Chains A and B, each alone.
Chain A
Amino acid sequence: MLQRLLSLAPLLIALSHPIAAIAQDSTLVVAPLLSPPTGLRVGDSPDDNGHGVLARWSVAPDDAELLVYEIWRGPSPTAPDSVWFQVGSAPRGSEHFVYFDEDASAQGQPNPAFVASGEPIHLRVRGRSGDGRLTAWSGAATGVGKGNWFHRGKTNILVAVLLFGGAVAWFINSARRGKELYIRPIPGLGAVDEAIGRATEMGTPILYVLGTGTAGDVATIAGYTILSRVARRTAEYQTPILVPVNDPVMLAMGQEVVKEAYTQAGRPEVYRADNISYVSAMQFPYVAAVNGIMRREKPATCFYMGIFHAESLLLAETGSGTGAIQISGTDQVSQIPFFVAATDYTLIGEELYAASAYLSRAPAQLGPLKAQDYAKLAIILIIIAGILALTLAHWDGILRLVRTPV
C-alpha cells in the first residue's frame, strides 16, 4: 500500500505544480475568456480635414456576450500594454469606429489623443462584456489621416446648387431676351410708395430699422437694397429718413447706401449723414434707443427690414402706438407672427428677398425669382415622392437623396 502511494508521488507533485503556479501568479487567472474581434484595419477617415482615422474590424465570435468594443491607442504596434490608452468605444455589433481629435491641447496640457494629419496612428481593439470579462486584443493596426478635398456627403447639395444655379442663369437669359415673367403682387411692397407719400404729406420723417443682424447676413443686405429704393424716393420728396443701426460696419454701409441713393436722385445736398446713426450694439439698449426715436420724432412711416429677434414686437408695438404706418419684413420664422399682428404689411420670409426684383422689375432680377418658383415645385415633387416611397413601398432609400451631414 505504501509502495503504491510512493509510486503516485511524482504524479501528485507534477499535478500540484501548475496549481501552485497559478495561485502564485495571478496574471494567468485573467487569461482571456472570450475570443477577440478580428481583421482590424485602420485607414483615413473620409470627408474630414485630416484629423481622423477609420478603424474597421470583424465582430468577435462572442459578440452576443459583449457590451462594448474598446478602442485603444499606443505609440507603436509592439509597445507594452502599460503605455496604451483607451480613445473610444463602440457598442457590440459595431464593425467600425471613427477616431477623430484635432484639439492639440486639453486644458493647457498636450493632448495624448491628438491626431496629427499625416502621422501614423496605431490602434487595437478588444471587447468587454457586461460583467467585466474581456476578449483578447485584436492585432494592432496602423493608419494615417489625410485631409480630403471634397465632402462626399454633400454631393446632393452640390448637385442641387448646380441645378439651381443653372436655372437662375437660364431664366435671366430668358428675361433678357424679352420673355415676360410674372410676379404675384406683394401688398407690402406695393404699399411702399403710399407709406412714403404719407410721411411726406404729414411732414414727419421715415424711420428705417435694419434689425439686429450683422452686415454679413443676407436678410440685412436685402434690407439695404430696400433702403436704397426707399431713400431714393425720400430724396425726391425731400422727406428725412432716420436709420438707427446697431453695428458700426452697418453704419458705414447705411451711410453709403443712403448717400448714393440721394446722389442718384439728384439731391445730394439734402443728404444728412447724422440721420444714419449708431445707437448701441446690444439688443435691448438698441430697442430703447429706437423706441425713444419713435416717441420723440413721431415718424409717420416705419420700415422694419432685416433680422429681428425678441425686439420685433417691442419696436412694432411702439410704432403702432405712435400711429405710424408700418411695413415689416424678416426671414426669422419665429418673429413673423409678431410682425403680422403688429404691423400693417409684412413681407413673409422670401418676400423680403424678392423686394429688389419686385421694385426694379429688371430682367436680371426677375430670373432668379422664377428659378426659385421652379425649385419649390421640385421640392414639392420630392416630398410627394418621399411620402409615396415610404408609405406605399416602405423604401427609405429616397431619404439618402435629401440627407445631409451634420
Chain B
Amino acid sequence: MKKQIPILIVFVTGLIMVLQFFVPHAASEFLFTYANDFVIVIGILALPLGIFSLMRGTVIKARKDPRERFYAIVTIVGFLVMAIANFRRDSGPDSLAQNLFSYVMIPCQATIFSMLAFYIASAAYRAFRVRTWLATVLLVTAFIVMLRIVPLPEPFSSWNSSLVQWILAVPNMASKRAIIIGVGLGAISYSMKIILGIERGYMGGDK
C-alpha cells in the first residue's frame, strides 16, 4: 500500500495534466491552476522542514569543527535578521528587509556570479587544448566566433560576421536541435514511465 497509493495518485494526476493540455475549456484551466496552487501550498508547508535542516546542519557543523563556528554564527544571525526584518510591517522600498536584500544579498550574489568569468577562462583553457583533430576544429571555430567582438578592418569584419552567422545558424543550430529533440522525446518517455508506474526510482526504487 505504501507504494501503490502514491503510484495511483501519480497516475491520476499525471493523466489529468496530459488531458488538460488538449482541453482549452475553463474547467480544465481551473483544474490546472488548482493543481499548481497545491504545489505552492506543499512548498510552503515543507519550508519549516528546510529551515530546520539548515539550522540543524549549521549547529552540527559548528560543534564538530571549531573553525566552522564563525561561519555558522554568520549563517544563523543572517537568517534571524532577515526573518525578523521580513516580519515587520513596513515593506516599502526603504524598509530594512529591502535594504538588506539590495545592499547585502544582491552584491553577495553578484560576487558569486562574477566568479563565473574566471571559471569560464579556466574551463576554456582545458576545452581548447589541441589534443585531437576534433579539438583543433573546436579551437579554430571558437577563435572565429570570438573574433566577432574584435573590431576588424573591412572586408575582414563583414566576412567574419557572415561566417559566424553561418556557424551559429547552421552547424551549431543543427546540433542544438538534435539535442533538444532527444531531450523532448526522453522527457515524454520518462514521464510516461512515471505515470504508468514503471519508473519508481524517485520513490526509492522497487520492492
Contacts and interface: CB of A to CB of B under 8 A. Distances in A.
Interface of A: 47-51, 117, 147-151, 154, 157-158, 161, 164-165, 168, 172, 216, 218-219, 221-222, 224-229, 232, 247-249, 251-253, 256-261, 263-264, 274, 277-285, 287-288, 292, 296, 310, 313-314, 316-317, 331, 333, 336-338, 340-342, 348-350, 352-354, 356, 364-365, 368-369, 371-372, 375-376, 379
Interface in B9-59: 18, 21-29, 39, 42-43, 46-51, 53-54, 56-57
B194 interface: yes
Contact of B185 (A157, A281, A376): A376
B101 to A, nearest CB: 11
A226 B47 CA distance: 25
B183 interface: yes
A309 to B, nearest CB: 11
A282 B3 CA distance: 32
16 contacts: A147-B25, A147-B26, A168-B189, A216-B39, A221-B199, A247-B43, A247-B50, A253-B202, A281-B50, A285-B112, A310-B113, A313-B120, A313-B123, A368-B192, A372-B185, A376-B181
Nearest to A283: B109
A251 B46 contact: yes
Contacts of B1: none
Contacts of B186: 331, 349-350, 352-354, 372
A284 B24 contact: no
Given A49-B24, A147-B26, A148-B24, A274 B123 contact: no
Contacts of B205: 228-229, 232, 260-261, 264
Given A257-B203, A331-B187, A221 B194 contact: yes
Contacts, number: 207
Nearest to A50: B26
Contact of A226 (B26, B109, B201): B201
Nearest to B119: A317
B124 interface: yes
B189 A353 contact: yes
Interface residues of B, number: 63
Given A232-B205, A274-B60, A284 B185 contact: no
Nearest to B54: A278
Interface of B: 18, 21-29, 39, 42-43, 46-51, 53-54, 56-57, 60, 68, 71, 108-109, 112-113, 115-116, 119-120, 122-124, 126-127, 176, 179-183, 185-194, 198-199, 201-205, 207
Given A149-B23, A260-B204, A287-B112, A336 B119 contact: no
Contact of A314 (B23, B119, B198, B202): B119
A172 B25 contact: no
Nearest to B61: A296
Given A148-B25, A257-B202, 17 more contacts: A50-B25, A147-B24, A151-B23, A158-B22, A226-B201, A247-B50, A251-B46, A264-B205, A264-B207, A278-B53, A314-B115, A317-B122, A331-B186, A333-B179, A342-B123, A376-B185, A379-B181
Contacts of B188: 161, 164
What's the dominant secondary structure at chain A's contact region?
A: helix
Contacts of B127: 337, 340-341
Contact of A168 (B23, B29, B192): B192
With a 10 A CB-CB cut-off, give which of B23, B29, B202 has the most chain A CB atoms: B202
Contact of A278 (B50, B120, B204): B50
Contact of A288 (B48, B112, B123, B124): B112
Contact of A256 (B71, B122, B204): B204
Contacts of A292: 71
What are the nearest 5 A-B pairs in CB distance?
A260-B204, A225-B201, A248-B50, A350-B186, A353-B186
B179 A341 contact: no
A248 B188 CA distance: 26
Given A277-B57, A353-B187, A248 B203 contact: no
Contacts of B187: 218-219, 331, 353
Contacts of A47: 24
A368 B189 contact: yes
Nearest to B176: A333
Given A288-B112, A333-B179, A222 B190 contact: yes
Contact of A260 (B124, B179, B193, B203): B203
Contact of A375 (B51, B122, B185): B185
A331 B124 CA distance: 21
A369 B189 contact: yes
A14 to B, nearest CB: 64
A333 B112 contact: no
